[in-house]
Amino acid sequence: MAENQVGGQQILLLPEGASRVLGRDAQRSNIAVAVAVANAVKTTLGPKGMDKMLVSELGDIVITNDGATILDEMNVEHPVAKIMVDIAKTQDKEVGDGTTSVVIMAGELLKGAGDLIEQGIHPTTIIRGYKMAADHAGKILAEVARDVKVEDDATLQKIALVSMGSKNVGDDNTKAHLGKMVIEAVKQVMEKDASGRRIIDHDFIKVEKKAGGGIADTELINGVLIDKEIAHPGMPRSVKNAKIALLDVALEIEKTETDAKIEITSPEQMQAFLQQEERMLKDMVGKIVKSKANTLFTQKGIDDVAQHYLAKGGILAVRRVKKSDMEKLARATAAKIVTSLDDLTEKDLGSAGLIEERKISGERMVFVERCKDPKSVTIFVRGGNQQVVDEVERSITDVIGAISSVLIDGKYVIGGGSIEIDLANGLRAYASNVGGREQLAIGKFADAVEVIPRTLAESAGMDAIDTLVQLRSKHKGKGGGVEGVDINRNGLSDMLKQGVFEPLKVKQQAIYSASEAAEIILRIDDIISSRGRAPAGGSGPGGMGGDHHMDE
């Protein structure tokens, strides 16, 4: 029972069975949990990062080194662990890449804060220092960032390869093939708003996957792949120079909105009723034929009789297409989605060079391709088994995010831990000018940023301390340096010559998200559980679903 004493009188604060963790104990517990989460994904960072195998209660297996996926599948219980998962999800949604970096950086910030708290520095002072450090880091990033043009495919390709660097998705040639494909897809759907700013909607880059073949068989379709089959066996399986009608209307006799009773007393009446239904369906198909459409996609159903008449008219039809796919078809083919057959005209039709049903791994799918300037495209992912296909999909999603970020922003920075050393050196110089206790927090922020090159060195089997010392030396002076961790040669190299580039937006988002997550967690000095059980992790660094050694 949680209680307090006021003037010798016992005051009850919480109900029977409730518990709380206060002050330093709460802060230590929260920091320990955050560091444990960071350690769980730390070894996945970089081209030589390791994979994690995640097994669900049902026996489903996920093998990946994608930070957001690992944290999502871990099913954490501790509220602080959930905050760490949330920052990875935010990073993933906002920029599509850098999920592992943001989590391990947040873990290091909290680890550094823990050291300062033990030295007697108040959390609000640390938070103030971290805010100052994050703002200054943002300024440094903006100063050192380099420009990239939309037509600079060589630089974009290097950014794509770095994004895929840690993913197990084939050799360099395969990665180059995937990168080129994503760049083409992103540019194809890119548009400009009224102010001239580039906008890229990831929803219009559909990533469809099917196990079978090899990763190299992954292809970009200038159109939409619909995971449905053609409605009737009598319909054509392939249509060239297709004129496409998109309908949000059922080609069937719909039931009345209110309960109605039809009384039929003779076979003649029954026959007349059926003939009337057939005429109505024939009229519906007649309106489609009149519009000169030779292909039809509808969100709703198609009656068997209507299918017969469509097949007779040589029209390829696909029914019960998802709303999201209908929107993609509209953008790819320039067709308008029609909600009334009476309104369907030739002007509403879209076009595609080829529509064809193909059998892929035993399942029939409809390919709508060779569209003229489609504003929605599909990347069809192939791979040897389901785990490989899933990882390729995650990798492509990351690259889409990275390329989109750099095209919208038009800026990139030098990777391989190079930019982090420049940030750390800049922050340390800034700390010496700030004075007060905040400078200690800024110093810890600089240490936390260096976790990226340190982890890259560790994953490559290099001495992390020696690597950091050498990098700091190489990056001294105005303008910093371009040396970073070369995991292929187990040493330092010129990252500019190596072409190790990362989007500016990814780095900015990681710095701000990690800083804000650390600030939220550091403000907590009281964990109250009123559900008759101890607060998760109250007894130590656990609270992550029972396994306290995820980082081992």
DSSP-derived letter for residue 410 is -
- Dist CA 323 CA 298 (whole Å): 9
What does the pLDDT look like over 464-485, one tens digit per residue?
899 999 998 888 877 678 899 9
Chain-wide mean pLDDT for the chain?
86
Rounded Cα–Cα distance for residues 183 and 407 (Å): 10
How many residues are listed for the chain in this entry?
Answer: 552
Show the beta-strand stretches assigned E in 457-503. Answer: 483-486, 491-494, 501-503
Residue among 500, 499, 402, 406 at smallest CA distance from 456: 500
Q: What confidence tens digit (pLDDT) does each residue in 129-168 have?
A: 999 999 999 999 999 999 999 999 999 999 999 888 777 7
Q: Report which of 512, 539, 546, 475 is spatially closest to residue 136, judged by C-alpha positions.
A: 512
Q: CA angle at residue 63 from 57 to 64, to 5 degrees?
A: 125
- ∠ CA 334-338-341, rounded to 5°: 130
Pairing of strands 205-211, 377-383: parallel
Percentage of the residues of the chain whose pLDDT score is greater than 90: 52
Query: Checking phi first, is residue 6 left (phi over 0); if not, alpha (psi -120 to 50) or beta?
Result: beta
Q: What does the alpha-carbon distance between residue 232 and residue 304 come to, in Å, rounded to a whole number?
A: 8
pLDDT grade, residue 23 (50/70/90)?
Answer: confident
Residues 367/383, Cβ–Cβ less than 8 Å: no
Q: Which domains, ranges and CATH numbers included, belong to the chain?
A: 3-147+414-529 (1.10.560.10), 150-217+378-409 (3.30.260.10), 224-373 (3.50.7.10)
pLDDT over threshold 70, residue 273: no
Higher pLDDT, 273 or 192: 192
Confidence grade of residue 77 (pLDDT, cut at 50, 70, 90): confident
User: What pLDDT, on the 0 to 100 scale, is given for residue 148?
Assistant: 93
Could you read off the pLDDT of 332-363 as tens digits, one per residue? 999 999 999 988 999 999 999 999 999 998 89
Contact between residue 150 and residue 407 where contact means Cβ atoms under 8 Å apart: yes
> Which pLDDT does position 271 carry in this prediction?
66
Residue 282 has pLDDT above 70, yes or no: yes
* In the predicted structure, residue 60 carries a pLDDT above the cut 90: no
Residue 176's SS3 state is: helix
Q: Is the dihedral of CA 159, 45, 105, 455 positive or negative?
A: negative
Q: How many Å apart are CA 119 and CA 530, to the nearest integer?
A: 32
The confidence score (pLDDT) of residue 545 equals: 44
Distance of CA 348 to the CA centre of its chain: 34
Q: What is the 3-state secondary structure (H, E, C) of 315-360?
A: CEEECCCCHHHHHHHHHHHCCCEECCHHHCCHHHCEEEEEEEEEEE
Contacts of 266 (CB under 8 A, 6+ apart): none
Comparing C-alpha atoms, which of 298, 317, 303 is closest to residue 355?
A: 317
**Which of 51-60, 105-114, 288-297 is least confident?**
51-60
Query: Residue 552 above 50 pLDDT?
Result: no
Instruction: Give CA–CA dist 170/182, Å, rounded.
Output: 16
Residue range 60-67: mean pLDDT, rounded: 82
Three-state secondary-structure class, residue 147: strand
In the chain, the largest separation of any two C-alpha atoms, in whole Å, equals 99
d(CA 412, CA 160): 12
pLDDT for 551 equals 40
Q: Which of 11-15, 152-156, 542-546 bottoms out in mean pLDDT, i.e. has the lowest? A: 542-546
Q: Each residue of 299-325: pLDDT tens digit?
A: 999 999 999 999 999 999 999 999 999
| Tokens standing for residue 286 | 């007649």
pLDDT at 275 over 80: no
Task: At 468, list the tokens.
Answer: 């950091």
Rg (CA), the chain: 29
Q: What is the mean pLDDT of residues 113-120?
A: 92
- What is the CB neighbour count within 10 angstroms for residue 5? 8
Distance between CA atoms of 533 and 540, rounded to whole angstroms?
15
* DSSP H helix total and E strand total for the chain: 17, 23
Retrieve residue 549's tokens.
Answer: 């050694």
The C-alpha atoms of residue 127 and residue 139 are separated, in whole angstroms, by: 19
Q: In the structure encoding, which two tokens stand for residue 153, read together?
A: 């495919």
Percent of the chain exceeding pLDDT 70 equals: 88
Residues annotated catalytic, as ranges? 66, 99-100, 398
Residue 539 has pLDDT above 50, yes or no: no
Is the pLDDT at 544 greater than 70? The verdict is no
- Residue that wins the pLDDT comparison between 532 and 158: 158
Please tell me the least confidently modeled range out of 119-123, 152-156, 394-398, 525-529. Answer: 525-529
pLDDT by residue (tens digit) across 500-513? 999 999 999 999 99
**Helix H segments across 435-502?**
438-449, 451-459, 464-474, 495-498
d(CA 449, CA 130): 12
- Report the run of H or E that residue 297 belongs to, with start and end: strand 295-298
Check: CB of residue 34 under 8 Å from CB of residue 539: no
Contact 70, 41 (CB under 8 A): yes
Q: Judge whether residue 286 has pLDDT over 50.
A: yes
Q: H or E element: which one contains 405?
A: helix 386-409
Tokens of 53: 């195998």
Q: Which residues contact 289 (CB under 8 A, 6 or more apart)?
A: 313, 315
| pTM: predicted TM-score of the whole model, two decimal places | 0.82
Q: Which amino acid is at 286?
A: G
174-227: pLDDT as tens digits: 899 999 999 999 999 999 888 888 899 989 999 999 988 889 899 999 999 999
Position 14 pLDDT exceeds 70: no
